[in-house]
Amino acid sequence: MTLEELVYSEEYADLIVRNFYLEALRSSDGGTGDRFFELTTQFSTFFLDRSLLPPNQFGDIPYNAVPKLYTPLDTVSLESAGILQVQNQPVLGLTGAGVILGFVDTGLDYTHPAFRKPDGSTRILALWDQTRRDGTPPSLFPYGTEYTKEQIDQALRLEDPLEAVPFSDADGHGTFLAGVAAGTPDERQGFIGAAPEADIAAVRLKPAKQYLRDFFYVSPGAVAFQENDIMAGIRFLTQVAQQAGKPLVICLALGSNQGSRTGSLPLSFSLRRLGQIQGITPVAAAGNEAGRAHHAHGSVSSQDSPVNVEILVPEGSGGFTMELWGQAPQLFSVGFRSPVGETIPRIPVSLTVETASSFILEETKIFVKYDVVTASGRQLIVIRFSRPTAGIWNLQVYGAEASSREFHLWLPITGFAVPDITFLSPDPYTTLTNPSTPETIITTGAYDAVTGSLYVNSGRGYTADENVKPDFVSPGVNVTGPGPLDSYIEKTGTSAAAALASGAAALLIQWGMERTLSRYFTTQELKSYLIRGAQRDPALTYPNREWGYGTLNLYNTFLSLMTT
């Protein structure tokens, strides 16, 4: 098969591997040719013949090598965020000119007025559609179709632009984000994006392969994207910025409940490194999981009775996956009790084997795989329920060491398990979704700029290793952005907040480039500027798990620089 065929083939498993492992992997797969392409200087996608793996399992393949699945996060004003004042202030007059805003998401409706200049031409530098196989792919990747600014402008002159450039966004999530962050002013609609003169680049992600959806028991109707495709999309954006010679802000409004929340997944690791490069700024949404009852937390030692965690499974669930991440050096293990009283005693820790357990009176099967040491240094237990009996399941968590250590449990992100699976005693904290946890990216939660209250589902910190996240919160309730058929609609969630924060970062970058000694900022510098200007309630202590360092106010950032 060609590399392009491997990308879309269900007969081959996608693995995210360190580049120095490639030669050994080729040998283990029979050495039948190069079945990989580079995602970053550290990681590549490697395609492994699925016939070499156990049925519906990954055998002894490390957890980080299996692509995690991400979904668009649910999506008030520019004035509340201090953006409108910065646009209109006579001396500042910042619009994002000279900066590229990049989006890796569901696509983008490039025909919408929000992405055109006054003369009707496009503000988009490049588009990559990973779903289409009938055009020329980007130079770094063997799949999808790339569209240039010239092709888009030619298409826009046609009666039906999609005939020439069939790049679309059936979901609308990516279109909305790009418009909030960088939409062209529309006086008739009373709309303006945060950085209305920034350039735009976008990636339309291809859907996750079915074998991964089956392995993680993702609901048939859920939108799910693979981690390696997201990483490829990010590298495409950095290539566009490098060719244009302009700084890049990457807006990521995708999330997953998979991973340790310590920034150890390949996507998070890559974003951490990018955030250290001057001129590249990743901005991520904190997620909308705080009020969803998908996180539980506890601690246990060998001296304690097992901690009992109750899980509510509604009727009609075909299956779900749960992850337990335990703090070293404790060695955790688990047992189960079903809603009808059948028990699975404590399952001994095994280094590589996935244990399958069945019940006498129930159709349920439970698969448990222990990973004693992961890239994060923490223990991982992956628990998969197949055809679970409806009712309250009890998970017993045991410790083998005398010292008590904490553990975290995460259920699938909202939308992946239908009907939804929840904990009866959830913990709303440490509900940040991946990849929002690395310290060298800007992470924003959401609040209601009208009432001043925190959005109820805005992901809360801190990270599992107690680093401060979110960095701050941005307006994310009833935010206006582009909708279908050239309309403008309102949406709520941390996606909208991330789009506003991305636009604010672009304005700050433009200010840095226009100073007497022009310069590009690192992400840490930009984050420090934004935190300095964040507004804080005197009644609260900062930083905190809900608000981070306060509410985004870009204008206040500039005022703070005037203070002696």
Report if residue 68 sits inside a domain.
Answer: no
Q: Do 193 and 283 share a domain, yes or no?
A: yes
CA gap 562, 410 in Å, rounded: 45
Boundary of a domain, candidates 376, 394, 423: 423
Q: Which three-class secondary structure state does DSSP give residue 161?
A: helix
Query: Based on the domain organization, do 270 and 320 belong to the same domain?
Result: no
Instruction: Report pLDDT for 563.
Output: 61
Which of 34, 53, 72 is the last residue in one of the domains?
A: 53
Please report whether residue 78 resides in a domain.
no
Domain assignment of residue 487, given as a range: 83-288+434-561
Do 445 and 380 reside in the same domain of the chain? Answer: no
Question: pLDDT tens string for the chain (564 positions)?
Answer: 899 999 999 999 999 999 887 777 666 655 556 788 999 989 999 999 999 888 878 878 889 999 999 999 864 457 788 888 998 888 889 999 999 999 999 999 999 999 999 999 999 999 999 999 999 999 999 999 999 999 999 999 999 999 999 999 999 999 999 999 999 999 888 899 999 999 999 999 999 999 999 999 999 999 999 999 999 999 999 999 999 999 999 999 999 999 999 999 999 999 999 999 999 999 999 999 999 999 999 999 999 999 999 999 999 999 999 999 999 999 999 999 999 999 999 999 987 678 999 999 899 999 999 998 888 889 999 999 999 999 999 999 999 999 999 999 999 999 999 999 999 999 999 999 999 999 999 999 999 999 999 999 999 999 999 999 999 999 999 999 999 999 999 999 999 999 999 999 999 999 999 886 788 899 999 999 999 999 999 999 999 999 999 999 999 999 988 764
Look up residue 306 and give its DSSP letter.
P
For every residue of 192-223, DSSP letters joined together read --SSTT-EEEEEEPPPPPHHHHHHTT--TT--
138 and 264 both lie in a single domain: yes
pLDDT at 352: 65
Residue 12 lies in a domain: yes
Peptide bond into 543 cis (omega under 30): yes
Tell me, yes or no, whether 438 and 526 share the same domain.
yes
Look at residue 337 in the predicted model and tell me its pLDDT.
97
Residue type at 496 in one-letter notation: A
Same domain, 199 and 335: no
CA 467 to chain centre: 18
279 and 140, same domain (yes or no): yes
Of 480, 493, 506, 476, give the one whose Cα is nearest residue 186: 480
Helix, strand, or coil (residue 440): coil
Are residues 320 and 249 part of one domain? no
What is the CATH classification number for the domain harbouring 253? 3.40.50.200
At a CB cut-off of 8 Å and minimum separation 6, what does 539 contact? none
Same domain, 110 and 240: yes
CB burial string 202-236: b at 16+ within 10 A, e below: bbbbbebbebbbebbbbbeebbbbbbbbbbbbbbb
Residue 153 lies in a domain: yes
Examine residue 234 and state whether it is found in any structural domain, yes or no: yes
Q: Per the domain annotation, does 61 fall within a domain?
A: no
What pLDDT, on the 0 to 100 scale, is given for residue 76? 44
Which residue type is seen at 196?
A: P
Domain of residue 396, CATH code: 2.60.120.1290
Domain final position from 404, 423, 442: 423
Same domain, 313 and 276: no
The total number of structural domains in the chain stands at 3
Same domain, 466 and 508: yes
Q: Do both 438 and 551 map to the same domain?
A: yes
Q: Would residue 36 count as lying in a domain?
A: yes
CA 512 to chain CA centroid, nearest Å: 28
14 part of a folded domain: yes
- Strand spans (E) along 372-449: 379-386, 391-399, 405-410, 422-423, 442-447
